[in-house]
């Protein structure tokens, strides 16, 4: 722990804290187990020792991605993908190997539980560490971290195998494997972190296979009871549970992304599409029969200056409502900013020109706002689509001509 906290390099504080805590919990479990080899311990104390060992795994699971990338935030989806993939491998290992080695030799239910949980957790850590090594291009810190976890996990598995076969003796040389693994993990903090922002990503195919494995194993257990140990439920149910959590997060992110996309193309004041949306529609409009109308309100600035911005905002909202009511279904009305609006409308030259005059007519009667009768007009530039890319420029020129001459509606040339 001291080697980690006193490392001369700049390390992620979360990685330092979680790794130190993981080693601390493992040390507490080791002290209790060592004491139990010489003096009797109560069942509660033995359970606390196992629980201390167990805390090592989730803490190190959090530490691995933070240890390797400088200033990188944890992405919940990346972590869940790694855990789901690791649990999928653990489920296969439990079904094909671990459940056939450990449970038959152990009568105590608590010992059976931890005898399977620890190797499953070891495999999970190894999987995440291996993914980190690959994504960080064999960086020295990542290699040392993986090597430390590999030696620690191998020692763990070897100890469990010796224990269930009654061949383990306290203080044998294989016990040094845990200490060597922890020392190597701690030494990784003395090497430079990755300056890149590599992501711990797993191909979706492997995630799908990992999720598919769990219901398959559960179905086999239902069809042929006794084919696997009951403790295979640990990784399989955990995989499905995390898969549902992942699905919830992805759905929420997709919803937020959709809302952000809509907001990015929506005018906040009027609720109409904004300039970005209109320009996007124009990009696909080259072969459509129709017209672009650009509208600029007349005498809006003096009204805004006289009555204030709040009244001006109310006028813009009511203008948007009047324009919307006068347009046919399918037309796109957008607020371009300030007192400018734009309309994309499908149809013949005559129909779109009629729509322009209809829009002008909507402002022929005053707005009654807070007891004030306010009248404004509109200048409209009409540009019928000729298949060229100059539709916006033509409509803009026609609008300014209408505003200059006071003609109301001007058709673009």
Residue 343 phi, psi (nearest 5): -135, 130
Residue 184 reports pLDDT greater than 80: yes
Assessment of whether the complete model's pTM goes beyond 0.75: no
Distance CA 101, CA 122 (A): 16
For residues 375 and 366, the answer to whether their CB atoms sit within 8 Å is: yes
Identify the DSSP state of 375. -
Residue 127 reports pLDDT greater than 70: yes
Kindly report the CA angle at 391 between 389 and 395, in degrees rounded to 5? Answer: 155
Kindly report the CA angle at 237 between 178 and 110, in degrees rounded to 5? Answer: 50
> Other CB atoms closer than 10 Å to residue 61's CB: what's the count?
20
Counting Cα atoms < 13 Å in the Cβ hemisphere of 184 gives: 19
Which class for 366: exposed (0-12), middle (13-18), buried (19 or more C-beta within 10 A)? exposed
Residue 116 reports pLDDT greater than 60: yes
State the average pLDDT over residues 340-354: 93
For residues 389 and 286, the answer to whether their CB atoms sit within 8 Å is: yes
Distance CA 346, CA 285 (A): 10
CATH topology of domain 275-411: Alpha-Beta Plaits (3.30.70)
If you average pLDDT over every residue of the chain, what do you get?
Answer: 80
β-strand pairing of 409-411 with 377-384: parallel
Tokens of 62: 């959090």
Counting Cα atoms < 13 Å in the Cβ hemisphere of 148 gives: 21
Give the per-residue pLDDT at 293.
95
Residue 229 phi, psi (nearest 5): -65, 150
Query: Would you say the C-alpha torsion 349, 355, 357, 360 has a positive or negative sign?
Result: negative
Residue 236 reports pLDDT greater than 70: yes
Banded model confidence at residue 165, pLDDT cuts 50, 70, 90: confident
* pLDDT tens, residue by residue, 207-221: 777 777 778 777 877
Identify the DSSP state of 293. E
**Three-state DSSP class for residue 334:** strand
- Element at 319 (helix H, strand E): helix 309-326
The residue ranking higher by pLDDT, 256 or 275, is 275
- Domains of the chain, by residue range, sit at 2-262, 275-411
In 191-286, alpha helices (H):
204-223, 233-264, 275-283
- Residue 293 pairs with which residues in a beta bridge? 343, 382
**Three-state DSSP class for residue 295:** strand
In 94-203, alpha helices (H):
99-101, 109-135, 140-164, 176-187
Percent of the chain predicted with pLDDT > 90:
24
β-strand pairing of 377-384 with 290-298: antiparallel
State the average pLDDT over residues 14-42: 83
* pLDDT tens, residue by residue, 269-321: 898 999 888 888 888 887 788 999 999 999 899 998 899 989 999 999 999 99
**Three-state DSSP class for residue 396:** helix
Distances (CA, A) of 321 to 109, 237, 278, 381: 71, 54, 18, 20
């Amino acid at each position: 722990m001291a080697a980690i906290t006193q490392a001369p390099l700049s390390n992620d504080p979360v990685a330092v804290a979680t790794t130190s805590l993981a080693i601390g919990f493992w040390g507490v479990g080791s002290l209790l187990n060592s004491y139990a080899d010489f003096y009797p311990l109560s069942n509660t104390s033995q359970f606390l020792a196992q629980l201390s060992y167990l805390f090592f795994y989730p803490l190190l699971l959090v530490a691995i991605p933070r240890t390797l990338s400088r200033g990188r935030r944890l992405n919940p989806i990346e972590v869940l993908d790694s855990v789901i993939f690791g649990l999928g491998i653990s489920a296969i290992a439990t079904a094909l190997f671990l459940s056939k080695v450990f449970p038959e030799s152990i009568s105590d239910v608590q010992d059976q539980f931890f005898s399977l949980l620890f190797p499953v957790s070891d495999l999970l850590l190894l999987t995440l560490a291996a993914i980190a090594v690959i994504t960080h291009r064999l960086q020295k810190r990542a290699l040392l971290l993986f090597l430390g976890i590999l030696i620690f996990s191998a020692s763990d598995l070897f100890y469990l195998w010796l224990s269930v076969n009654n061949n383990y003796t306290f203080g044998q040389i294989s016990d040094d494997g845990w200490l060597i693994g922890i020392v190597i993990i701690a030494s990784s903090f003395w090497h430079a972190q990755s300056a890149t922002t590599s992501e711990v990503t797993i191909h979706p195919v492997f995630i799908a296979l990992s999720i598919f494995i769990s219901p398959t194993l559960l179905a086999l257990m239902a069809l042929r009871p006794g084919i696997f140990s009951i403790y295979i439920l640990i990784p399989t149910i955990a995989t499905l549970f995390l898969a549902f959590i992942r699905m919830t997060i992805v759905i929420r992110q997709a919803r937020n992304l959709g809302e952000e996309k809509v907001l990015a193309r929506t005018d906040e004041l009027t609720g109409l599409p904004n300039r970005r949306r209109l320009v996007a529609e124009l990009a696909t409009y080259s072969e459509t029969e129709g017209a672009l109308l650009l509208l600029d309100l007349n005498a809006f600035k003096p009204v805004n200056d006289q009555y204030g911005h709040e009244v001006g905002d109310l006028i813009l909202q009511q203008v948007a409502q009047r324009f919307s009511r006068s347009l046919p279904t399918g037309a796109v009305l957008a607020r371009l900013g300030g007192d400018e609006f734009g309309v994309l409308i499908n149809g013949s030259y005559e129909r779109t020109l009629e729509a322009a005059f209809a829009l002008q007519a909507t402002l022929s009667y005053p707005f009654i706002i807070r007891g004030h009768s306010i009248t404004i007009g509109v200048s409209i530039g009409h540009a019928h689509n000729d298949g060229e890319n100059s539709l916006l420029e033509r409509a803009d020129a026609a609008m300014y001509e209408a505003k200059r001459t006071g003609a109301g509606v001007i058709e673009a040339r």
